[in-house]
Structure 1
Amino acid sequence: MPHLLSPSKSRPFRLTLNTDGVSHPIENAMSVATLVCGLVAFVSGFIADAHILASWAGALGFGGGLYSQYVSATTAERSVNIIGIVASFVGVSLGIYHGGFVP
C-alpha cells in the first residue's frame, strides 16, 4: 500500500459539463438553455400576473429539455437537464393554474 503513504496530487476544482474530456458545445448549450427556461418558468410561476411567461417558458423548457436529455452525452448534462425539466414542469403547471398561455 505505498500509494497511501505518498503525497496525492489533487486537481483544482473545475465546474464543467464535459466530464468525459470531449467538448460537446451543442449539448451543453441545450442543457443550459433548459435550465434557464426552467428557472424563468419556476420563478414567474409564483407570480399570478406572469402566467403567460411561466406557461410559455415552462412548455419550451420542458419540450426542449426532453430533447436535450435524449441527445445528452455526459452525466453532468443529464443532471442539469433533469433540474431544468422539473423546474419547467412546475412553472408551466403554476402558469396554467394562474391563467394559461393567453391573456
Structure 2
Amino acid sequence: MSGLSGSGGKSSMLDTTPFRLSYDEFLEAAERVGVADTVVEPPRVNGPVLSDRELVSKIPARLVSNDALVVDEILTLSDIIGGLAESEIPGHTQQILELVLHD
C-alpha cells in the first residue's frame, strides 16, 4: 500500500491521484449522458486534512476480505488511507458510471 508523496524532510501529503482520476472519469461519463451540468465539483483541499504526525502514525491493521486474511501488519495511517483509495475508489467509480450510463 502506498499513500505518501515526497520523502526525507519534506512535508508528507496524501496522494489524492486515485480520487482525482476517478472523479474525472465520472465527469466524462456525466458529459456523455448529458448530465454534466448537474454534477457538483468537490471541495479542494489545500493541504493535508490530517497532520504529518497523524499520517505517519503506525497502526496495527488486520484486513479480511471474503473470509480471507489480506493484511495483518503494522501500517501507517497514510498507507491505510492510500491503499483503500487505490483499491476501492476505482471499483465504486465503475459502479456509479454503470448506473449513470444505464439510466
The normalised TM-score by structure 1 is: 0.33
Q: Which has the larger radius of gyration?
A: 1
The normalised TM-score by structure 2 is: 0.33
Structure with a larger share of its residues in helix: 1
Structure with a larger share of its residues in strand: 2
